[in-house]
Amino acid sequence: MSFKGNYHFVILLLFLHDYNVFADNKYTDIIVGEKGQEETKCDIFQGSWVFDNASHPLYDSKSCPFIGNGFDCQKNGRPDKDYQHYRWQPSGCNIPRFDGRDFLKRYRGKKILLVGDSLSNNMWVSLSCMLHASVPNSTYTFHFSNPLSTFTIPEYEITVNWIKNGFLVDLVWDKRGKILKLDSISSGRQWLGADVVIFNTFHWWTHTGRAKSWDYFQVGETIVEEMDRMEAFKIALTTWGKWVDKNIDPSECRVFFQGVSVSHFNATEWGGKKGKSCVGETGPVKGQKYPGPRDKGEAIARSVIKGMAKPAYLLDVTLLTQLRKDGHPSSYAGRPGKDCSHWCLPGAPDAWNELLYAALTTSF
């Protein structure tokens, strides 16, 4: 749609307002481009999951050689498959369909790096599968290790790597034990040189008991055995934000922060029975709102990123994941217990990468 003057544009806005186009906050902004072309901006992280067995999944778990045992829910005996067919649909616009060949051409010769915990691993494996599916006959190298795991497609000279780092800040060992230094990052040199880097940290901060991977917190010269976890997370994330501001040039490297991916251990949050979890769930929460509480980590991540001098792009997957109570390995993780934190593949992390693609290729 084109406009021949501001007068006509104002009239159009009044017309749209009268018909409550903005009543449900579908559009965050409407802009007239240089040539009078209407451009629509929307929050691509607000929306709902739509069942779409025509276009999703984007790959088959049997044809992707990278899916580890913990994410391959079909191999581990999960009987239902609907969780593979849901597509994320923003409420105010459409995102471009993921085009793996286009991605590879755009990032020929480039380095893409994910840095974070096992949720970053979930996203990294998903992206590797999506790219492999777009050029199934191309040769590749894939190496899973700790802390650096690598995936390359030599034909396109592209590397997609994952560095395992659950806290981003330093975890050091001394005679007292393992100390989490909230105001120190000494391993950041490993993160330099990438053209796109996606950081992530949150889940390890909530661990308790034997699952906790540190003994003490340290800020400056002060060492304590315990402190408020969300305050510790905020201090550490602020340290990361300052490191990014100081060390990464946004004109040379696109920086993303993979937002908080939620767990589903309490079914009462979505109207389920007390004592139940994600086990047995076969469909997402309907609609565009999660009936349970907001995740505290989401607000902290948003606040810290807003305060950066050169803000990272928040890949805000919190609502997407809140609605997907059905997407976890649950009893089909290939090991004892129930996993309501990670995600089956194909599944929810594919949408994270579709949104990453949208952010990299459009003005969202």
Edge-first strand order for the sheet with 148-153 is: 141-143, 148-153, 158-164, 111-116, 196-199, 254-258, 313-315
Cα of first residue to Cα of last residue in the chain, in angstroms, is 20
Rounded Cα gap, residues 70 and 84, in angstroms: 16
CB under 8 Å to 96, separation ≥6 — which residues?
Answer: 357, 358, 361, 362
Rg of the chain's alpha carbons, rounded to an integer?
21
Contact 127, 175 (CB under 8 A): no
The sign of the dihedral angle between the CA atoms of 281, 357, 28, 259 is positive
Structure token digits, residue 201: 């940290």
| 197 φ/ψ angles, rounded to the nearest 5 degrees | -135, 130
For the CA atoms of 345, 348, 349, 354, the dihedral, rounded to the nearest 10 degrees, stands at 120
Cis (ω within 30 of 0) for the bond into 346? yes
Catalytic residue ranges: 118, 339, 342
